[in-house]
Structure 1
Amino acid sequence: MPRNALYAQSGGVTPVINASAGGVIAAARRHPDRIGTMFAAQNGILGALDEVLIDTAQLTETHLTQLRHTPGGAFGSCRHKLKHGAELKRLFELFAAYDIGYFFYNGGGDSADTCLKVAEFAQYHGVDLTAIHIPKTIDNDLPLTDCSPGFGSVAKYVATSVREAGLDTASMAASSTKVFILEVMGRHAGWIAAAAGLASSDAASPPHLILTPEVPFEAGRFVRAMQETIARVGYCVVVAAEGVRDAQGVYLAESGATDAFGHVQLGGVAPVLAGLVKQHLGYKCHWAVADYLQRAARHLASATDLAQAIAVGEHAVSYALGGLRSVMPAIVREDNEPYRWRIEPVPLAEVANREKPLPLEFLNGDGLHLSPLGREYFAPLIQGEVPPPYRDGLPDYPRWQFVTGAKRLPAFDPARG
């Protein structure tokens, strides 16, 4: 008898997370004798707890194709730290009510923690459930995988933006703006900021300075490097990860708030850096925060990234049907030129609650520029263009609206033990 499956998206979305969803759904449909109904939880694990489920049978083949072209999270995502006790019990009541035998959770490091909790609960209580984590994070900080789906497209977008903004800054530097600062995501790891270095073709082209959390920030050193760059080139373009911090580990832009997982909320490193420029050098400075733009830019997605996003979704189903449990499909790099990769399973216990920092050897000795080794790593990940369909001059993205099923369980009471 086939058993049903539940898929959910979690955490910050990416330009290609929906492609992974399409990969999961399409792969499941190829095995009707093993997987019955593929449900999707609306708004991640919260939708599962509230029993807001979508029967993906309502998605046509055209819809599956559209998933590959659409940014955001088609089924809705969330940030929620699954709690032991009432929440885990409720989740397994849902699994029982819908005969869920397969759970696919698509997210980053915190989502891996949720998936691991589900897998361990099932094992401890002898529940026949296969939990597979599907990797996704633009931060590229998941361990045991060469890269994370979503990152390659963001790297391509940021490097492109830096190259274009650099030309703008250069054209105005003689009489106006001499400094442009782009703040990118990366709380604990500087992968995105470092990848922006791909935009540079020589020592005079931007980005001229790269700031990452892995290299402690020193204001005096930053000011001197900027002054030298402007004297040499005439202007300076900086890319800074949001998580830049000093030698004591204090973020330059702490706001004092925390999210559901206890992560410090950051208030913006770019204006802090711009203040230093004005205070010490007096130059006119513009700054921008890539924020949601970088992770929603499906129009500039990497073909490599898209292929990998689909592949991890398909392999997740293959692993589940092959009897593997509590694993994550990881991307293994086989070669750089030409770039070749494959997918292999890795233990989820070695992924959850762990982060992969940017290797310092990916930066030059001064820690402010991309090294040849870093360029060799990043370059293949941004290759290829797969633009979405356009209509009236704009990307033709669907507005996803799904019918959710009638509920079978009582309303969830989180206070229940």
Structure 2
Amino acid sequence: MSKLTPKFVKETSAPGTYQDGRGLFLKVTAGGTKSWVFRYSFQGDRRDMGQGSFPAVSLRDARLEADKARLELARGTDPLARRHQLRHEAQAKRRKGTTFKTEAELFLRTHAPSWSPRHAVQWRNSLGTHVYPRIGELPVAQVDTDQVLDVLAPIWSTTPVTATRVRNRIELILDAAKARQLRTGENPARWRGHLDKLLPRHKRSTLPFPALPAEQVPALLHRLDRMPGPAARACELLILTATRSGEVCGARWEEFDLAARIWTIPAHRMKAKRAHRVPLTEAMLEVLEQVQGNHQDFVFLNARRTGPLPGNALRRVLDAAGAENCVPHGFRSTFRTWAAEQTNHPREVCEMALAHTLESKVEAAYNRGDLLDKRRGLMEEWSAFLGTFEREVVFKALSVSEPAGGE
């Protein structure tokens, strides 16, 4: 006969075990947590089967669940083993029904908030172009080596950088699926000890960034100065500061101390994730003065005046200026070559002007300054050089090699 009442279950708080009869009891912990347990014997072994916590499971519901377990016992079935079996079957059904694309989209929703917008777009584009068309609708549990190779083979030799990134992204997604118990076994996208035996290793190579020789840049800057619009001003500032496209296009007024003549680019906008100070010269200040007042936040506005200038706007303005054979990033190479060949500034000053890290870890550990004053002298010389416009030229780019994938 049942002994507990709804009122007692609700009001009791003393730690202990309270029997309801026929194996069902309420367990109250010292912390006040209440839970239901059904105790029974099966083939000589005592088992405790949880029935849920109060108040989520009421006394009535706990008794009904206990009755179901007693019925299983009467049929010769272990109710706890039956519960585990049902859970396993449900999990298997879930594994079978979850597609690679579903798991990939969950991975993106989870991790994209910690990435830069550009990195998130690159992820989505590469998956949408190369992965989803081939394995997107396959159950994530069934993706195997042959299917991973089916994705990678068409791009492995033609676009090696993209192929390497796609392989890594597939591996991360499948690792996440395994962590969520949607997969078992080894990761078919793993490189070391697996795909490295099935695909040729990519050769380390350099990619050329088309860049103008330094002697042609003053004429280009003169031509840009006569062009209207924020893209032309942004391109001028990019050349004068030798910074990256994203750093210029995403510049905010709050980053500039015009009185101290310093532009501080925050760490989250830098490739190396370290804040970078740029000494501002008179020529740079003149460019900034031309766009002051256009927007309270962004220095260079997009065409709709809703946000920062897109990076491809710089390439378009270079084409319009007749420098279609070079790219914005190439001006960093131009600056570095000019600094090495036409100035006496130390190598570390030139490298820090480009926000490059020192090659020696020991040197970097001891040299923690940013050499701002010395870099100011270098940038003043660069600005003076760029002001030496004499005549119009036909721009002809040089291929300046830099490491593939960036600086």
Name the TM tier (shorter chain): under 0.3
With normalisation by structure 1, the TM-score equals 0.26
Greater strand content: 1
Larger helix fraction of residues: 2
User: What's the TM-score, normalizing by structure 2?
Assistant: 0.27
Using CA pairs under 8 Å that are at least 6 residues apart, name the structure with larger relative contact order, 1 or 2.
Answer: 1
Larger radius of gyration: 2
